[in-house]
Structure 1
Amino acid sequence: MKKKDKVNINSISGSMVSMGHDGSNVSEGYGAYQSQEQIIVPDTKSQDFEIGKSIEATDGHHIVSHPTSYADTMLHLFRGNIGSGLLAMGDAFKNGGIVFATISTVLLGIICVHAQHLLLNCSEEMYRQTKRDKPPGFAETVALVFANGPTRLRPLASTMRVLVNTFLCITQLGFCCVYIVFIANNIKMICDQYNIHIDLSIHMIIVVVPVLLSCMVRNLKYLTPFSTIANLLMAIGVSVVVYEAAQDLPPVETRVYMASWQSLPLYFGTAVYAFEGIGLVLPLKNEMRKPELFQKPFGVLNVGMVVVGCIFITVGFLGYLKWGDDVTGSLTLNLKPGHILSNVVQGLIAIAMLFTYPLQFYVPICITWPRLRKRYANTSPVIKELGYRSILVLLTFILAESIPQLGLFISLVGAISSTALALVFPPLIELVYKSQTSKGIPIVILMKNIVIISLGLFIFVTGTYESIASIVRAFQL
């Protein structure tokens, strides 16, 4: 048997690249199965990006045999943050207002990046304190902070790990649901242009067939070329969409500056969905040739997220300014009907999402299957794993069929899970860590983190409520 190597999943998502169930521990459990081969992006510059080929230096510092450069890491950061969430930013600006959404997206981006820095700092500190063989991932960092925190909080360590992994599963399965709706909507638009009028639910049934087949591939190395193709198709599609949105723009005065209070939670849910790439930062930093460059003022994280934030604002602003209240949950659906270019773009991005689905789907599998295998799959483990994969795919299909409103679905996923991962856990673990230091928690840090956590909880509650309420209203029409 080959040595167990960590699986590197490089993929486009709503807002993240997922590498292992917590960013570090794929090889601990699921790596023992057929999906143990490393996923390596097959282009020249990206072939250094390998997870799992790590060794311990003589001074005890964690190093990797094929580290990534500053440019490599920046490229992966872009790939991980630009996806379906980007194409939904027009709908987000509609729910926020063209002025309010622009300002709020800047502030929200700053807060999300700050939260990512908090997670990175805590991970580095736990790595130093516990003298582990490799830096911990997201879930493990949260668990270690609580395990080494105040005595009364230590029993919560395992619970916090489970919570983080649960939200990661919800996020990833939510992405998968969005992909099904996204693909079906775009295919329907193409078919309608050729007078092939089929109900959206039928398109979803058709879409789930290739999705189900692709998810039966247990060795992820065979999906590597599809990841690269998906990235290329997405880049082409987004470029065309932005170009089309920038043509013949109406005056800014024709758009609402600030939307109603009722729709603002939908804006926040979608915006957080787009920005929630916190599961990406730890693996990227840990695999850099010079990891200290990741968090510097002009490091990969800050520079990369400034560029990503500018792209989000540009796409959202132009999308809403161009199409106004008619803007949809994916800007591809607003392209001129009947044009060959529109059909090509819709097809390209639909294919990109189809290729991305099995890569995003791997994360909940590697979180949940190992324990289920130990309990229920002592015999015929391969058949039972394939059955379990089929059940999860069908679950995402059922949810997609139940909530076919793409924009509302994205906002719901963002409100439920993305806010917890991006805005609640990072400031929470910083407070727990700081409480154990000799100086305690400085009042400025306490107030700042309370504000961030409160914002996360506010978006969680109001976004979830308004998304569900809007979905109910949509079905009543």
Structure 2
Amino acid sequence: MKHNKITIFSTIPDGYSAFQSREQIINLQSKSHLDLDSEDDGQHQVSHPTSYAETLLHLFRGNIGSGLLAMGDAFKNGGIVFAPVMTALLGVICVHAQHLLLNCSEDLYVKSKRDQLPGFAETVSLVFEYGPARLRPLAPIMKVLVNTFLCITQLGFCCVYIVFIATNIKMICDEYGIHIELSIHMIFVVIPILLLCMVRNLKYLTPFSTIANLLMALGVGAVLYEAVQDLPSVQSRELVGNWQQLPLYFGTAIYAFEGIGLVLPLKNEMKNREQFQKPLGVLNVGMVFVASIFIVVGFFGYLKWGEDVAGSLTLNLQRGNALSTTVQVLLTVAILLTYPLQFYVPVAITWPTVRTKCGDRFMVAKELGYRALLVMLTFILAESIPQLGLFISLVGAISSTALALIFPPTIQLVSTYQNKKTIPAYLIAKNSLIILLGIFIFITGTYESVASIIRAF
């Protein structure tokens, strides 16, 4: 066991181990004190298993991010009455889907006699591999699909972060009479991001995660304090959004709830894993809290600022105010420090394949060049779609719906049929409704987000 030494890309051969690195990354984002084994098999051993309270805290950290600050914009598109009810319902559906994924992973953990629960992509792949004979050839394709959506999601987060950071910096500069185009701010922002993403060893970045979480908590608290001051009446806001706006609401809400990739590694790290899925276990209790925060922030954000609510509530804070400037600085630094950790996910998934085609010479230089190319890709996309709220809705509609609402019920149906040679009617009905909801959000959310982006230009 080699403690406190993680050099991800020198230890990932391909396939499953690459995805395992993603789980290590998620764990490192949620707790910087983990000691992981980085042997060539890609597995990790837990030196310091987490308690119920610690895992609960890590669940909060993993689910509360930039999506929370976009909930005011989501509620504007959904309506002051429809959005809270639907957000609570979406929360229940997303948590149910997470339970489905966990149950399938636990079943495969027993069947395959592994040392730990298989990850998201590996679970989906193994369900098809152990499933009906006609579906087994789909196993590699399903694994690639999940990893593709994971990459799209994480790179989408990175694009949103660039827009978020640049937009907040522009507002701060405008207050002091420094008027520069948003696109120029993005160029300045990408420079420190590039430097941070050149760090290949996660050990040197994980302490920033704790700092980022603290800054985020302080910033969100201050935003909520500002939002509850001098509120207008509920009747002054739209009760239900129109049909054109509702897909944007769903995209943003699903973006905010997209924490399904976190549940398997968190359960793996618990001292008593059975406490994770109990009725009053970590997942249910934690997600009730998370959904409540989303509803409170979204409700008061829209109630306070109405149709003027921005893609991030920080952009609605009173200008020239010391509190608002401090909040914007705190959240900007928090997101800047979070970018390189989110960025490790797509690199960990894609670099092993790219590395096999690059030859063995100058491998470090090639990896740094590949990282720089990915950062510039997120920069170009951010420059192309500078509308923060629409960008968040687009990312949520394209990838978050597939991960959160389509894959989990699908693999439960496949697994149930293989185990019982039949699928109960109620299970078909329930899972079909969830899958259809995911497809509906995917199609309508993507279409309306793209159409809104085109109209914005």
Query: Which TM-score band (shorter chain)?
Result: over 0.9
Label 1:107 to 1:52 Cα distance change in 2 as closer, same or farther (>3 A): farther
Q: 2:30–2:58: 8 Å Cα contact kept in structure 1?
A: no
Aligned to 1:117: 99
1:365 Cα deviation after fit = 0.3
The answer to whether the 8 A contact 2:2-2:37 is kept is no
Aligned residues of 2:251 and 2:397 also touching (Cα < 8 A): yes
CA distance 1:345–1:252, change in 2 (3 Å): same
User: What are the within-5 Å matches in structure 2 for residues 230-379 of structure 1?
Assistant: 230-379=212-361
CA contact (8 A) 1:92 1:267 kept: yes
CA distance in 2, matches of 1:185, 1:124: 43
Deviations 1:405-463 (CA, angstroms, capped at 9, x unpaired)? 00000000000000000000000000000111235111111100000000000000000
Structure 1 position 177 matched with structure 2 position 149:
no
Preserved contact between residue 176 and residue 361 of structure 1 (Cα < 8 Å): yes
Larger CA deviation: 217-226 vs 304-313: 217-226
What residue is the counterpart of 2:438 in the other structure? Answer: 456
1:409 to 380, 386, 391: 391
Alpha-carbon spacing, 1:106–1:24, altered in 2? closer, same or farther (3 Å): farther
Task: Confirm or deny: 8 A CA contact 1:412 1:468 kept in the other structure.
Answer: yes
Does residue 1:223 correspond to 2:199, yes or no?
no
Runs of 4+ in structure 1 off by over 6 angstroms are 3-8, 20-24, 27-31
For 1:62-110, what per-residue CA distance to the aligned partner results, in whole angstroms no more than 9, with x for missing partners?
A: 9743210000000000000000000000000000001000100000000
- Quick check: 1:66 aligned with 2:54? no
User: How many Å separate the matches in 2 of 1:178 and 1:29?
Assistant: 23
Q: Secondary structure at the match of 2:361?
A: coil
Trace 1:100-179 onto structure 2 (pairs within 5 A).
100-179=82-161
Relative to 1, partners in 2 of residues 1:355 and 1:230: Cα closer, same or farther, differing over 3 Å? Answer: same
Choose which of 395, 402, 424 in structure 2 pairs with 1:442. Answer: 424
CA distance in 2, matches of 1:120, 1:89: 27
Residue matched to 2:76: 94
Secondary structure at 1:292 match in 2: helix
Query: Could you tell me whether the CA contact under 8 Å between 1:21 and 1:367 is conserved in 2?
Result: no
Q: Against the structure 1 CA distance between its residues 29 and 232, is the aligned structure 2 distance closer, same or farther, given a 3 Å change threshold? A: closer
In 2, Cα distance between the equivalents of 1:223 and 1:338? 33
Conservation of the 8 A alpha-carbon contact between 1:30 and 1:369: no
CA distance in 2 between partners of 1:350 and 1:378 (Å): 39
Separation in 1, partners of 2:5, 2:266? 17
| Conserved 8 A contact 1:41-1:225 | no
For 1:14-69, what per-residue CA distance to the aligned partner results, in whole angstroms no more than 9, with x for missing partners? xxxxxx999984586899xxx99x94877xxx73x445489xxxxxxx97432100
Shift in CA distance, 260/177, structure 1 to aligned 2, threshold 3 Å: same
SS of the residue corresponding to residue 435 of structure 1 reads helix
> Hey, what's the Cα distance between the residues in 2 that align with 1:394 and 1:21?
26
Q: Which residue of 2 aligns with 1:418?
A: 400
Percent identical among aligned pairs is 70
Q: Matched residues in 2 for 1:30 and 1:291: separation?
A: 20
Name the one with the larger helix percent.
2
Query: Could you tell me how far apart the structure 2 residues matched to 1:322 and 1:188 are?
Result: 23
Counterpart in the other structure of 1:57: none
Shift of 1:2: 5.8
1:272 is aligned with what amino acid? I
How far residue 340 of structure 1 moved from its aligned partner, in angstroms, is 1.1
**Change in 2 beyond 3 A, CA 1:272/1:350:** same
Matched, 1:400 2:400: no
| RMSD after superposition | 2.5
Distance 1:69 1:158 in 2: 35
Which whole-Å CA distance do the structure 1 matches of 2:368 and 2:7 have between them? 19
Q: Are the structure 2 counterparts of residues 427 and 22 from structure 1 closer, same or farther at C-alpha, using a change threshold of 3 Å?
A: farther
Between Structure 1 and Structure 2, how many residues are aligned?
449
Q: After TM superposition, give the deviation of residue 227 of structure 1 in Å.
A: 0.9
**Residues 3 and 35, structure 2, Cα contact 8 Å, conserved in 1:** no
**Counterpart check, 1:382 vs 2:361:** no
SS at match of 1:298: coil
Residues 112, 51 of structure 1: alpha-carbon distance in 2 compared, 3 angstrom cutoff? farther
User: For each residue in 1:107-152, what CA deviation from the matched residue of structure 2 results, as whole angstroms up to 9, or x when unmatched?
Assistant: 0000000000000000000011111232100000000000000100
Paired with 1:279 and 1:41, the residues of 2 have a C-alpha distance of 13
Cα distance change of structure 1 residues 285 and 39 upon mapping to structure 2, 3 Å threshold? closer
Mapped to 2, the partners of 1:89 and 1:152 lie a distance apart of: 43
Shift of residue 210, structure 1, vs aligned partner: 0.3
> Which residue of 170, 173, 185 maps to 1:188?
170
1:178 Cα offset (Å): 0.1
Partner Cα separation in structure 2 for residue 344 and residue 328 of structure 1: 18
CA offsets 1:144-195 (integer angstroms, 9 cap, x no match): 0000001000000000000000000000000000000000000000000000
Instruction: Call closer, same or farther: CA 1:23–1:155 in 2, change over 3 Å.
Output: closer
Query: Which residue number in structure 2 is paired with residue 212 of structure 1?
Result: 194
Determine whether 1:427 maps to 2:409.
yes
Kept after mapping to 1: 8 A contact 2:175/2:320:
yes
CA distance in 2, matches of 1:318, 1:464: 27
**434, 444, 447: which is aligned to 1:465?**
447
Does the residue aligned with 2:238 lie in a helix, a strand or coil? coil
2:19–2:348: 8 Å Cα contact kept in structure 1?
no
| Partner Cα distance (2:253, 2:22) in 1 | 32
Contact 1:30 1:366 in 2 (8 A): yes
Using structure 1 for the length normalisation, give the TM-score. 0.90
Which amino acid in 2 is paired with 1:428? T
**Gap runs ≥5 in structure 1:** 9-19, 55-61
